[in-house]
Amino acid sequence: MRTAASLLTVVLLLTTLNSPAQPEAKRANRPRLPEGARVLQNLQYIPNGHERHKLDLYRPQQSASPLPLIIWIHGGAWQAGSKENPPAIRFLEQGYAVASINYRLSQHAVFPAQILDCKAAVRWLRTHAKDYNLDPVRFGVWGASAGGHLVALLGTTGDIKDFDTGPNLDVSSEVQAVVDFFGPTDLLNMAAQSGPNSRIDHDAPNSPESRLIGGALQKHPDLARRANPITYVSPSDSPMLLVHGDADPLVPHQQSILLHEELQRAGVASELLIVKGGGHGSGFGSEVNAKVTAFFKRYLIANAKTAPPNAK
């Protein structure tokens, strides 16, 4: 079993990987926005809610047409991280708006609080789409690690009403495209899939996964399955791009393979990129950036879906 000190090391590592494609020096300060772009900070997506119920909204130069939106969801083992410095900012230059959200961490509330918050943020953004010149039928999400887990859940639970609570329930929390960077899926199998270089005992009662569900994974399999995006896969799910390094020491790459295979069986458009020698966000190069760019272009611009139910 890992010590508390080693667990803290893992959490800190996951936090620093919040922006996987950017060097450490560039993450220290807010990225420079393109000319004409602006950011609206700390918009509260649940009135009088938790201090974490806030998002930042980045908009490019004024556009005559409603903008497609990419929503970044940060990582950090569900117990750290923030909406600051989202790597999705680079899409402002390509005509997208970008939102970056905070959500309650596992020390604030156990699962499903995290996905409830993400869905509330999506509904708030869709409700206020006209106010911010957003296209409510072109919402994509992108997340890494714990954020990858949450965007995968957004992609597979668009038709699951159990996770829609709070305000703006008259609009949909469905998203039109999902990019999942090395997100956990089947929590119960993470320990078995981990190699000798794994830096965490996923089954330990103080592991990030156990803290997420509020108890040791193997003692609470029903809670673990409820947090598994694969549990909810159906033919109506959002298209997904899954990216994972095959040398990831924290989240086994088999986690993304399991989700990809289940999505394919259901007939959902799913792309899987396994980065040879890639770690937990390290070793990702231009090929990954190009894949993400092409994926969002395909599903949010070239082949945008029609409106989800009750979208405004």
Q: Alpha helix (H) ranges present in 157-304?
A: 190-193, 208-213, 221-226, 254-265, 286-296
Query: So what's the pLDDT on residue 10?
Result: 46
Cα separation, 279 vs 249, whole angstroms: 7
Mean pLDDT per 10-residue interval, the chain, length 312 residues = 42 44 43 88 97 97 91 98 97 97 98 98 98 97 98 97 96 98 98 87 97 98 98 98 97 98 98 97 95 98 62 52
Cα separation, 241 vs 248, whole angstroms: 17
Domain ranges for the chain = 4-302
Query: So what's the pLDDT on residue 195?
Result: 79
Amino acid at position 111, single letter:
F
Go through 135-148 and write b for each residue having 16 or more CB atoms within 10 A of its CB, e for each that does not.
Answer: bbbbbbbbbbbbbb
Contacts of 15 (CB under 8 A, 6+ apart): 75, 76, 77, 80, 81
Q: Domain 4-302: which CATH class?
A: alpha beta
Of 266, 268, 238, 61, which is closest to residue 137 (Cα–Cα)? 238
Query: So what's the pLDDT on residue 27?
Result: 42
> Which residue in this structure is represented by tokens 């830096």?
199
Go through 107-121 and write b for each residue having 16 or more CB atoms within 10 A of its CB, e for each that does not.
Answer: eebbbbbbbbbbbbb
Query: So what's the pLDDT on residue 191?
Result: 96
pTM value is 0.90
